[in-house]
Structure formats: structure tokens, C-alpha cells
Amino acid sequence: MLHKRRSRVAARRQPRAPVFAALGDETRLSLVAKLCAGQPYSISQLTKGSKLTRQAITKHLRVLENAGLVRNIHAGRESRFEFDPKPVEELRKYLDLVSGQWDQALSRLKSFVEG
Amino acid sequence: MLHKRRSRVAARRQPRAPVFAALGDETRLSLVAKLCAGQPYSISQLTKGSKLTRQAITKHLRVLENAGLVRNIHAGRESRFEFDPKPVEELRKYLDLVSGQWDQALSRLKSFVEG
DNA sequence: GCAAAATGCAACCAACAGGTTGCAGTTTCT
DNA sequence: AGAAACTGCAACCTGTTGGTTGCATTTTGC
């Protein structure tokens, strides 16, 4: 038996737009790129690689945290951030649905033209 | 022989942030959901399903068009929009890289602990 | 030819995003 | 204890976003 789930693209249980929006910024994309390598980093460490202020980086990290892409672990004096892969998996599934919907439409069109 | 490409997440040739940002809005997500079903729609048709103004929908369509997610085909009096799957494929590949980087880090950690 | 339909363009507005500076509060280290 | 490091919070500023209204323009259909 197949999975009992809706295949329509419009179906969603938790909003994906905030996650997309959180990734819609070059600074945040590079933060994610650094964090998804496995090692958690503190705010100061993440700031050192950038031309921005520590507070700017902090704001970006809050955005990523609110989107669930990153988890905050405060350890003593410093607060480290580590990557959380779940939202990325959700986006992957969603984009698979979009692509699948499109391919399906194309194949329907093809069989219509041929048949 | 394997593919000769950079596997690091940071590597990019064309910016992905604008595409993510274009998808970071519920209205635009539902527009994409409608258009990726295969059939192109005019602005008026797309407006009928929404509570927003025609001009608001138009602006959202421009954002999607600038991100490459949608293509404008003006036919006579009306201008139809149709989905373009390429940017979505790019995003899928990128998210695959992110997930892969993370899984790789996890397995390195695991073998370090075990070994 | 004329009315209706579909769109484009511009002005305008409130709210938000991205960034800065300044200062106060904790931890750590010697 | 005291200095240095790390962070949090708040105010502030500028540019962009999301949305509206109003009007002009082009196409279509009768």
C-alpha cells in the first residue's frame, strides 16, 4: 500500500515560507553553509569571517533560529549555534513535489499530443 | 571517474538567495503551486483565487519572474505566466548538498566515537 | 465605433528588514 | 578583585516590501 498522504503541492501542515525566507539572504546562506559542516560555532566565531557587526550576525542567527534551521546552545559565557537538518529536509520534499507536479503535467501533455 | 565539481556548499556560480527569497512568501508559494500544475494562467485568472488586488498579484508575479521561477508570455490583451522548473532544480541540488554535508559530518563524528 | 476586459504605470503608505552604535550584564582568567 | 571576552537589549536610521488607489493604454467582441 502506498503512503497515505496528499500529493498536491498546496497541501501543507507547517508553513514553509518562513524557511524559504530565512534562506533568502546571502549572509544567512553562508552562515548555514558554515554550520552544516557539522561543528557548532559561537557568535564571535561566526562574526570573524564576516564584514558585518556582531549584532548583525546575531540578528541573522535569530532569523535562522526562528525558522528552525539552527539551534541555540548557550554554554557559559558564549552561545553556540548548531545546524538542524529537519527544515531542509522539509524543503527538499516540497521542491520534489513541485518538480514532480511539473514533470507529471509535461508527461500528460506529451501523451495527449502523441495519443 | 567522478564528477569534476566542487562539493563544498559555499561554492556557487549563480546566486540562489533571490530564488529562496522569492519563495519566502505564502502568496507567491501558492502562485507557484498553481502554476507548476502545468497550465499557464493570466493575471486576472490568478487574481480570482486570491483576496488581494490585481496589482498586488502582478507585483508578486514580477518577483517570481525576476527570480526565474516564472516566465511571462503576453498573448494579445492578456499576459500569461508559466512555470519554469530550472531554478527549482537548482535549489534541490543545493539543498542536497547541504543535507549531504551534514550527513557526512555526522558519519565522521560517528566513526570518530566508535573508532 | 464603442463598451468591456486585461493590463501597465505611477504615486503613495505602513510595516518590516538589515545594519549600525551605545551600554549594561555575565563568564572567564589571572 | 579586576580586566577582558562574549553576549543581550534598546534605540535609531535607511531602504525595501507588500499592499492600496487612480488613471491611461491596448485588445476583444458585438
Question: Could you list the pLDDT tens digit for every one of the 115 residues in chain A?
Answer: 555 555 667 666 689 999 999 999 999 999 999 999 999 999 999 999 899 999 999 999 999 999 999 999 999 999 999 999 999 999 999 999 999 999 998 888 777 776 6
**Taking chain A, what is the end-to-end CA distance rounded to the nearest angstrom?**
30
CA A91 → CA A67, A87, B71, B96, distances in Å?
Answer: 12, 6, 23, 10
Q: How far is B18 from chain A (nearest CA, A)?
A: 6
Are A20 and B17 in contact (CB < 8 Å)? no
- Chain segment B84-103, per-residue pLDDT in tens: 999 999 999 999 999 999 99
Amino acid symbol at A92: R
Which of A12, A20, A26 to substitute to test the interface with B, most B CBs within 10 Å?
A20
Q: How far is B99 from chain A (nearest CA, A)?
A: 7
Q: Determine the 3-state secondary structure of B42 from DSSP.
A: strand
Q: Confirm if B17 and A25 have CB atoms less than 8 A apart.
A: yes
- Protein B100 CA to nucleic acid D5 C1', in Å? 35
Q: Which residues of A66-100 are buried (b: 16+ CB within 10 A; e: fewer)?
A: ebbbbeeeeeeeeebbebbbebbebbbebbebbbe
Phi, psi dihedral angles at B85 (to 5 degrees)? -80, -10
- Chain segment B34-54, per-residue pLDDT in tens: 999 999 999 999 999 899 999
Question: Residue A110 has which C-alpha cell?
Answer: 506529451
Which residues of chain A approach chain B closer than 8 Å at the C-beta? Answer: 8-10, 15-26, 29-30, 32-34, 36-39, 83, 85, 88-89, 91-92, 95-96, 98-99, 101-106, 108-109
Of A20, A24, A106, the CB nearest to B38: A106
